[in-house]
Amino acid sequence: MVMFGLSVTGSIFSQNVEALVDAVVLTVLSTPFIYFWVIKPFIEARNQAINDIQKAHDKLEARVEERTFELAVARDGAEMASRAKSSFLAAMSHELRTPLNAIIGFSEMMSRKTFGPLGDSRYADYANDIRASGLYLLDMINDILDLSKVEAGKQALLEEELNVSSIVSSSLEMVRERAKDAKVEMTAELPADTPRLLADGRMFKQIMLNLLTNAIKFTPEGGKVTISGDIGGDGSFSLRVTDSGIGIAEEDLAVILSPFGQVDNEYTRRHKGSGLGIPLVKELIEMHGGALKIESAVGIGTTIIINLPAWRIINLPVIPTSP
């Protein structure tokens, strides 16, 4: 507290300061004096409190704006996912009904012996159609169930030593008839030093089958699908499935990689499926600590690259040859 005693005709303050002032008038020898008590520390504390409140208010406003934006993004993402799932379910209702109707229709014709005794050659064709429809249904259902398990965290890795060359060869053999029917050539160009990997054998086989069937599906007659691989400078191992198919537009890459996402064009409408094959591959490879990348050009083709980290490569001991 500072006390000033000034004449009533004098200046109250020598400088312009904000203060809480109290005053009293005293008369000494017929001369009036006014005594002022200036409580400056109180005012400074009040101003500091006001400043602190304003800063806190500004921070709160900024946080509210930030959180509002985050909620808006989350809402938009949820709405997009909901629309994608609705579209997926609508498409699946058609995709599941089509082969089921074929199975029911052909089996009824066989049971009724529409064309006479079952020895008629047409029944063999119907049996093949029933089998193809059943396999198509099984593929879709497996994709749906497997992706659901992975997303729910219920899919565990059962790691073992894998012979990559052997798995690639067996995968090619499993889809060879499909490629033959589609008139698509398939080749493997793996290096002689293709390593063994520490990975889940069933999952790795599924990754290869999904990539190959997807490549065949979107490659026109006379096209080619090639599997190649190499070890990178960082010691990681990459496998590439390259096709000479229709390609993917850059703006559609995110759709291809999202669960339930399907690119809508004339070709994909003629080659329907679950749309879960590539998202499932992405999830499975990421479970192994790896990554998936897509390189594509419309009208030229697509290369899907799966990369596994160096610690998944098994370094086999070198056996010296006899002199």
Q: Is the pLDDT of residue 320 over 60?
A: no
User: Per the domain annotation, does 16 fall within a domain?
Assistant: no
Token pair of 206, please? 């599924």
User: Per the domain annotation, does 1 fall within a domain?
Assistant: no
Confidence of residue 91 (pLDDT cuts 50, 70, 90): low
User: Per the domain annotation, does 270 fall within a domain?
Assistant: yes
Mean pLDDT (whole number) for 253-280: 61
Tokens 């669960």 -> residue = 259
**CATH code (residue 193):** 3.30.565.10
User: Per the domain annotation, does 132 fall within a domain?
Assistant: no
| Number of domains into which the chain is organized | 1
Chain-wide mean pLDDT for the chain?
76
Q: Is the pLDDT of residue 185 over 80?
A: yes
Compute how many other C-beta atoms are within 10 angstroms of the C-beta atom of residue 38: 19
State what percent of residues in the chain have pLDDT above 90.
Answer: 17
Q: Give pLDDT tens digits for 16-65.
A: 545 555 555 555 566 666 555 555 555 667 777 788 888 888 888 888 88
Mean pLDDT (whole number) for 248-260: 75
Mean pLDDT (whole number) for 303-320: 78
Which of 9-13, 20-24, 76-80, 232-236 is the most confident on average? 232-236
The range of the structural domain enclosing residue 289 comes to 159-314
Q: Is the pLDDT of residue 300 over 80?
A: yes
Confidence of residue 275 (pLDDT cuts 50, 70, 90): low
Q: What pLDDT score does 317 carry?
A: 43
Contact (Cβ atoms closer than 8 angstroms) between residue 234 and residue 315? no
Q: What pLDDT score does 147 carry?
A: 66
Which residues partner with 162 through β-bridges? 197
User: Per the domain annotation, does 74 fall within a domain?
Assistant: no
